[in-house]
Amino acid sequence: MGGCVLVVEDERKIRDVLRHYLEHRGLSVLTTGSGAEAIDLLDRAHVDLVVLDLGLPDVPGEEVVHRAVRGLGIPVLMLTARAEVEDRIRGLRQGATDYVTKPFSPREVAARVVTILSRTCTALRSIPTFGGGRLTVDADRRLVSVDDEPVDLTVSEWRLLLALTTRPGRPLGRVELMDQIRPAHHDGSTRIVDTHIKNLRRKLDRPGATEPGQDRSVIETVTSVGYRFALPPDHH
C-alpha cells in the first residue's frame, strides 16, 4: 500500500500503540518523542502525514504544524488533551487538518489517518466498492471482483458496468447505455444492451438473486427507462 506516517508523541506507550495500528493498515511509520527531531525528519524523510501530540516537551506543537503544513504541504492530525483548547485552535490556524482529543481510540486515529491520506495522497486513493465491500470496481486497473473473487467481463460489459457504477442509484436509459458500447454507430436498436445486462447479472449477482418476484439483482430494471445500479457506494 505504501504511505509514510510520522508519529510525534513523547509518551512512549501511545507511540507504540499508534505504530501498531498504523502498520496494521499497511502504512510505514516513523516515530519520535521530540518536536525538534520531528522538524528535522520532515526535511530528511518522505512523510505523507504527521500525527502530532501538541503537548511536546521541547518545541511547541504549532511549530511542527507550521513546518509540515505551511513549509511542506504535509497534512497534520493533532492529538490534544482536553485542556489544550488554545493550542488546538492555534494548530488549526496553522492549517492542521484534524484533531483527536485524548484519551482516544487508536483504531479511530488509524481510520482518520487513512481517510486523510485517501484524499491527499494519490498513491493511496481508494478504489470504489459497493454494498459493504461486495463489489469492487477498480477503473484504473480494469478489475472487477465480487466477494473478493475476480470476475471476467467483456469490453462491452465493462463499459456498461462503469457507466452504471459511476452513477449509483440513478436510472440510465437504454440509448444512453448503448452510447457506452457503440458511440454514434448504432441503428436505434438497443436489444444488445439487454443481452449484456443479462450477462452482467449472471456474473455479478448471487445465485437466485433474480428469482421471480424478488428482483434483488445488483442491476435493477427501471420500467420503461432502462437500468439502475442498485448497490449503495461505500464511503471510504
Mind giving me the DSSP string for 13-24? HHHHHHHHHHHH
The region that residue 184 occupies, defined by phi over 0 for left and psi between -120 and 50 for alpha, beta otherwise, is left
Which of residues 35 and 75 has its CB atom nearest to Ca ion in the complex? 35
Query: Smallest gap, in angstroms, from Cβ of residue 41 to Ca ion?
Result: 17
Backbone CA torsion sign across 165, 154, 123, 3: positive
Q: Are 6 and 51 in contact (CB under 8 A)?
A: yes
Query: Smallest gap, in angstroms, from Cβ of residue 83 to Ca ion?
Result: 12
Which of residues 14 and 197 has its CB atom nearest to Ca ion in the complex? 14
**What does the per-residue mask of binding to Ca ion show for 4-23, with x meaning CB under 5 A?**
------x-------------
**What does the per-residue mask of binding to Ca ion show for 39-68, with x meaning CB under 5 A?**
--------------x-x-------------
Query: Smallest gap, in angstroms, from Cβ of residue 56 to Ca ion?
Result: 6
Which of residues 87 and 157 has its CB atom nearest to Ca ion in the complex? 87
If one asks whether residue 98 binds Ca ion (CB under 5 A), the answer comes out as: no
The region that residue 182 occupies, defined by phi over 0 for left and psi between -120 and 50 for alpha, beta otherwise, is beta
Which of residues 30 and 172 has its CB atom nearest to Ca ion in the complex? 30
Which of residues 34 and 221 has its CB atom nearest to Ca ion in the complex? 34
- Chain residues that interact with Ca ion, rule: CB under 5 A: 10, 53, 55
